Amino acid sequence: MEIPTLAADPAFTAALHDVPAGSVSAVLATYNRCPFDPAAGRLRDNPLTWALDTLRGQTGVALAEIVVVDDGSTDHTPEVLDLYQTTPGVPLRAVRLPAHAGAHAARNAAVAAASCRWLLFGDDDCAFTPYVAAGAAHTMSVVREQDRATGAVMLPFYYRALRPYQSRPAAGIGRLDPAQALFTTHFHTWPAEYGGTPPRLDSPAGIVAPLPVELIGGTALLNADALRRAGGFVDLSSWASSYSDHLHLSADLTDAGIRLWHCPDPRLGAAHLKWGAVGRYPLDPADLATMLPILDRPLSDLVALAARPRAHTGCRVPDQVFHEEMIGSFFAFFAGRSLPGATKWAARCWRDFVSNGVVYSAAIAEAPPVEQRVAAWRSGLARGARTVTRGQLRPARTAAELATVLDQVCAEAGQPPISP
């Protein structure tokens, strides 16, 4: 499959310069992403600075401000934010939560503090292309002319890479079906149907046409009013990984009648460095050698810093905790939306993860031994059931409903019953 290389030609950049000034607030939630002391000369080895510097280097005048909410960091984050607040560039507003409350609390605080109609969400260990803010705003404007229910445009991100290296049918990108326990992200891939000559938005910028999706992720432009109508980010403080946050957000947006899109144009993308994960990410030598605009250093420098095991940073948890969190938090999401979906999810995790050692996330280097996989499956389902029955997520379920699901999947797996 041919994946085109798209240039930032004069028509593209000229159109982005025409995006109305001050229409976008960039919002970042951050937690312990500044381990290096800026006073020791290592300011720009901190991943938060990669996000801030590339946001400040955006093309055009669309970006009005950067709002950063520090979720109770215990490293050098306060000093780094103080430095950025006193240096020239796009204004930075810093909000500090009194204690670590979780990504949902930080994101909701950022939404409350932001002043613009459109909110550009990103991860605090991303390096953004120079066209993200204006390109996303331009795309949102054009799509909303055709569909006024549009409230979110997902943008591509590439795991320790700068462009897509895989293609996938569009029907497998950004899908969410709670009744079937189905979700697919694949925002780092190229829609196979687009081939080497992709369809374009009907606008002078020539941005690649977006796809309708049911799921968005952490790098997206959202309409602030739509986000408020959907109730904001749900409280996932029970889960340190916050791994299911965008399942809840996407479903809540859809329930509120808001339509979601994904724009796969790599010019509007970000390199997601996955700080603190060793991972199983394929690395391309050409990408690694590429000097990043604004940062003026090769991608390989950032990857070398990021690919070291770290916990208690961002939403990163130790590998042995991740599997329980993923199984349990997704079970809680599916159970709230569809009991048959929860049953399918629990059975799938037994088959894929426990029996066959399939690890769903490339952030995890290898599968644990089978006895640990069984323990993670059981404890994850128990935690997920408790979360739902105690009303910590919306909507809630009764203990009897969850007991029926757990009894069924345990019987099918030949496991003793699970007591939430």
Helix 370-389 to helix 399-413 angle, to the nearest 10 degrees?
A: 160
What pLDDT is attached to residue 358?
95
Cβ count near 365 (within 10 Å): 12
Judged by phi (left if over 0) then psi (alpha if -120 to 50, else beta), residue 212 lies in beta
pLDDT tens column, 315-353: 999 888 999 999 999 999 999 999 999 999 999 999 999
- This prediction's pTM: 0.96
pLDDT of 419 reads: 87
Task: List 221's β-bridge partners, or say none.
Answer: 120, 153
Confidence of residue 1 (pLDDT cuts 50, 70, 90): low
pLDDT band at 365 (very low <50, low <70, confident <90, very high): confident
What is the pLDDT at residue 265? Answer: 98
| 259 strand-pairing partners | 150
CB–CB of 207/200 below 8 Å? yes
Q: Which of 271, 292, 249 is nearest to 162 (CA)?
A: 271
DSSP state of 172: G
pLDDT of residue 98: 95
pLDDT at 276 exceeding the cut of 80: yes
**pLDDT of 193:** 96
CB-CB contact of 269 with 135 (8 Å): no
State the average pLDDT for the chain: 96
pLDDT digits (tens, 9 = 90+) for 366-415: 899 999 999 999 999 999 999 999 877 767 899 999 999 999 999 999 99
Percent helix, strand, coil in the chain (nearest 5)? 40, 15, 45
| Alpha carbons 260 and 254: distance in angstroms, whole number | 8
Average pLDDT over residues 173-179: 97
